[in-house]
Amino acid sequence: MKKIYQSLATILTMAVASVAFTACSSDGGDEDGGNGGGTGGGSLSSTIPTTTPKDINGNLLRLKTIVGGPDGNCTLTYDANGVPSQFNLGNEGKVTVNGNKITYTYEASWGNNNWEKINDEYIVTLNSDGLVTGIAMTTKEEIQQTYFESAVTQGSVTFSYNGQKQLVKITGTGTTHKEEDGEKWSYQTTFTQTNTWNNGNLTKTEVVANYTGGGQATTTFTYTYGSLVNTTKQYPYRIADSAINLGEGMAVFALLGYFGVGPANLPTSYTEKLVENYSGEAPFTEENTYTTSYTLNSNGSIATEKEGNQTITYTYTTISDDNNSNSGTASDLVGTWRISKEDGVSMDGTNGTWFIFNANGKGYEEDHYPGETERWPITWSYDASKKTLTVVDVEDPKDTVTDVWEVVSFTSTKLVMRIHGNEFEFIKVN
Total structural domains within the chain = 2
1 in any annotated domain: no
The residue from 284, 319, 354 where one domain ends is: 319
CA angle 97, 46, 339 (to 5 degrees): 165
| Cα distance between residue 199 and residue 399, in whole Å | 52
- Rounded CA gap, 7 and 21, in Å? 10
User: Mapping DSSP to helix (H, G, I), strand (E, B) and coil, where does residue 3 land?
Assistant: coil
Q: Considering the entire predicted model, what is its pTM?
A: 0.69
pLDDT tens digits, one per residue of 208-250? 998 877 789 999 999 999 999 999 999 999 898 877 766 667 8
Task: Classify residue 227: in a domain, yes or no.
Answer: yes
- List residues bridging with 285 in a β-sheet: 275
Residue at 2 is within a domain? no
Same domain, 62 and 195: yes
Sign, Cα dihedral of 258, 174, 21, 93: negative
Residues 252 and 399 in one domain: no
Does residue 227 sit in the same domain as residue 364? no
According to the model, what pLDDT value does residue 246 have?
67
Note the pLDDT of residue 29: 35
- CATH number for the domain spanning 156: value is 2.40.160.150
**pLDDT score for 292:** 96
Rounded-to-integer distance, Cα 233 and Cα 69, Å: 18
SS3 at position 401: strand
β-pairing verdict for 352-357 and 401-410: unpaired
> In 3D, which of 70, 101, 96 has the Cα closest to residue 84?
96
pLDDT computed for residue 358 by the predictor: 94
CATH code, 387: 2.40.128.280
Specify whether 305 is located in the same domain as 350: no
Residue 26 falls inside a structural domain: yes
Task: Indicate whether 308 and 412 sit together in one domain.
Answer: no
Residues of the chain short of pLDDT 50, as ranges, are: 1-6, 13-40, 323-324
Q: Which domain holds residue 357?
A: 330-428
Partners of 359 in the β-ladder: none
Torsion of CA 327, 330, 334, 340, to 10 degrees: 50
| Phi and psi at residue 22, to the nearest 5° | -80, 0
What is the enclosing helix (H) or strand (E) of 425? strand 422-428
pLDDT of residue 45: 76
Residue 26 is predicted with a pLDDT of 32
d(CA 104, CA 9): 12
